[in-house]
Structure 1
Amino acid sequence: MGDLFDRSEPQAAADIAKPLADRLRPGHLDEVVGQEHLTGEEGSLTRMIRSGSLGSLIFWGPPGTGKTTVARLLAGETSMAFEQISAIFSGVADLKKVFEAARLRRSQGRQTLLFVDEIHRFNRAQQDSFLPVMEDGTVILVGATTENPSFELNAALLSRARVLVFHPLESESLARLLERAEAAEGRPLPLDEEARAVLLRMADGDGRAALSLAEEAWRAARDSEVFDADALQRIVQRRAPVYDKGQDGHYNLISALHKSVRGSDPDAALYYLCRMFDAGEDPLFIGRRLVRMAVEDIGLADPQALAIANAAKDAYDYLGSPEGELAFAQACIYLATAPKSNAAYTAFKSAMAAAKEHGSLLPPKHILNAPTRLMKETGYGDGYQYDHDAPEAFSGQDYFPEAMGRKTFYDPPERGFEREIRKRLDYWSKLRRERAGGNT
């Protein structure tokens, strides 16, 4: 018996009501754009499907790169039942229901692909609950995360799943999405060439964002109106950069800034500094990191570096934003162009290791104070030479514990101000040998 009602019109209306990104979801893996290393002819997922062996997976990548879509397509390609949950909205009770349904399907000869969005949001106990159903084949787990799995997922879970990286979509891939959108809509985007390029930049590697911005442009256009770049920015406003101060974007940019300073590249350092300001980073966090760079990567090669980094922090406190940000930019340039040395940093680490290794050794008695008669009688302060009374204000005495022997922790390089320090240390070492009769 045929349908009593013609469902074509309501179905079409329902499709029209869906966001453009949903309407344009690929129907096959080879239609996914921007992830050819996974879904192309020789991609990792393509090879897995071809071999008939699909194990549990973790999809790691930024929003809008196709993680959910690819998971759905994998289920279709392998004839598995598809279950989707979000770690944001699900708890232990929801997981138990999903696992029970998967066990029932398995008893009937069908496997379940369980897609868990934002899997890093589950706590350790919840993540551990996946282990038994992964091991006995009840589910093939596909977890999606925007965060580094090495930090956010349990080692036990990671050991049972392969991590696949999804890349931000490049301009060419985003442009292909816009072309598909125009074909689906049957009309061109109301944008001139420059505005189209601006839209791609606004999308910031996020395919869903590109299609959402395109929808906004279509909604705003009247008749044959075509927007230039300025008009587009007024209409859609500016999309905030993909950056979460507690997550990967935050750490990636501060790492890039630090390494650019360490690598003596002031232009790259300024670029990442401005990226962080633009993303709304706390300027005082940046200030603290600049101080750290001054002591860790420059040290005594330029003793002014620490003073300038601290002065920049004080200037920001005094001026506020945006004027105070220029002080950070100035400090950033200074640090990037300063001579580099981690000699003080490595000396500190070595001395700390020695302090832990040798325990509570007593300093040599000649440098101990003797405020009591008993201490004087036991040799405290005996033989101490007051350096200011010695020739060249240098006695050459040994200050290490006798049981430890003399050690060298600080080894300044021939760079910046540390050249002068090296000369002093070498000269004092020569005097020490001479005054000890060449025995040290």
Structure 2
Amino acid sequence: MSNTATLATTSPLSDRVQAMNESATIAMAKKCRELIAKGFDVINLSFGEPDFQTPQYIKDAAKKALDDGYTFYTPVPGIPELRQAICDKFKRDNQLEYLPTQIVVSTGAKQSLANAVLSLVNPGDEVIVFSPYWVSYEEMVKLAEGTTVPLVGTLENDYKVTAEQLEAAITERTKLVMYSSPCNPTGSVFSREELGAIAAVLARHPHVYALADEIYEYINFVGEHVSLAQFPEVKDRVITVNGFSKGYAMTGWRLGYLAARPDIASACDKMQSQITSGTCSIAQRAGVAALNGGRASADEMVAAYRRRRDLVLDIVKDIPGLKTPIPSGAFYIFPEVSAFFGRTAPGGSTINNATDLAMYLLNDALVSAVSGEAFGAPDCIRFSTAAADEKLVEAFRRVKESLAKL
């Protein structure tokens, strides 16, 4: 009888999956959709998704691919035309030379990041993650049975980690450094001088690799985008990840890629071959058109994102209790909100942390945002500014009104 009871109550799920957390951005978006389905007028600022349509010339390329019968399996690391177009992009935009054999195309930049982590990290390896960080970094390290070592950038330095912090954190067990620039969630952008100093640190530690997430490359308000791989002393130890979702408004197409030295690229190819194989043939042909079509559509979107950023910053500067740095890229604001902790909400509940505050705003203001806890910044909240101007104005009017009740 006792054995039967044990079998009935023991979860069949692996320790691996039980140790993982659900993506906080996806979880909040799910709650938002549930309220919308019940008829509530929720403004969703929790998701990092451009509100622009994919440019027409990219759609036309996909339609042509369908008409041409381009519907069969593709090579695991990507079709040759796309890998060459990516090499051309790196040379044109980043002054980096890669061969097509060093490119692996995946089902989104997220898979590219996971491929790299799983191909490099052994159980017990330390992975330094610049914090605040994108929510999935830590979970990917968990999946690889590595140990996440968060390095926290200060509010005064626009949340950016310094080379001195990195130097102090590296140990003999450090295997990988992960960061994004422009950063999700903060919008911070590393300068050439700052990345040069980080490259100098890495050059002194040849056992340490770097995973540079550049998915927001084109959404940059300060001009120059700098890739860590541009520093020759560390290029062979840098894996650069990018994709099409942000710069080309192609979120649903699920298309990303990485560039790395041949043995690492080959390992990522091998990893992917056992999980998804090659990504969608139609999406890849669309990706070729996107890269060959230049950046005009991206530049138009960036102009809109800059205007929206300025619009939102002009509103939130008049909301007491929010400390909001000026983001240099991406499409988020990431205010520090600890001034509201310990306050009592209408109805009697206490706002103990950013997660409580995000849930309060969802229920009271009908505005969906994401707690900074999942980003390694428990005193902050992330709002996306990838929404129409009028929605942003209404959303932050509601936020201001709701916060005033605390």
Compare the two structures and name the one with the higher strand fraction.
2
Give the TM-score, by structure 1 length. Answer: 0.19
Larger relative contact order (CA 8 Å, sep ≥ 6): 2
